[in-house]
């Protein structure tokens, strides 16, 4: 096999998992048919927000978002809305808050998404809704 063909095959093999990962992440963060968000516990949500055990890489939600860190101005807007990370990494024009939580679980935190009917996802949603109310964009 010529070197250029082998190099091309290797490049495709290395690039393919990244392409499939983005598609897979997009599917994992999309609300399932018939889904209705559950009522949640903000106290549990706050605990989980700071819990590195949710990830596989030692991150927590607070790693990026402590004291409103890394929230863009759009965080102040009602969901669904555009979130730069979801748009850039998944090609999603808009996301719901629970979908963005799932996106953070899958992408930066390198973990499995939470069960859609879980008290953990519901708690994080309520806690982030509280955070959203106190968020003041700087621009």
Convert the pLDDT of each residue in 80-120 to its tens digit. 999 998 989 888 899 999 999 999 999 999 999 999 999 99
pLDDT at 23: 54
Terminal Cα distance for the chain, rounded: 56
- What residues are paired with 81 via a beta bridge? 95
- CATH architecture for residues 3-134: Orthogonal Bundle (1.10)
Task: Let me know if 58 is exposed, middle or buried by CB neighbors in 10 A (0-12, 13-18, 19+).
Answer: exposed
3-state secondary structure of 95: strand
pLDDT at 55 > cutoff 90: yes
Query: What is the rounded CA–CA span in Å between residue 95 and residue 116?
Result: 15
Which range among 13-27, 66-80, 122-136 shows the weakest confidence by mean pLDDT? Answer: 13-27
pLDDT at 90: 84
Show me where the domains of the chain are located. 3-134
């Amino acid at each position: 096999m010529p070197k250029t063909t082998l190099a091309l095959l290797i490049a495709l093999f290395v690039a393919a998992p990244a392409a499939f990962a983005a598609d897979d992440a997009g599917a994992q963060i999309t609300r399932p048919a018939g889904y209705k968000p559950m009522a949640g516990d903000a106290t549990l949500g706050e605990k989980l927000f700071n819990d590195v055990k949710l990830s596989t890489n030692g991150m927590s939600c607070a790693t990026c978002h402590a004291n409103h860190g890394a929230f863009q101005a759009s965080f102040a807007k009602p969901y669904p809305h555009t979130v730069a990370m979801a748009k850039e990494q998944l090609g999603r024009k808009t996301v719901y808050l629970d979908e963005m939580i799932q996106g953070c679980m899958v992408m930066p935190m390198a973990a499995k998404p939470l069960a859609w009917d879980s008290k953990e996802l519901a708690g994080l949603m309520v806690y982030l809704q509280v955070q959203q109310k106190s968020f003041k964009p700087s621009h």
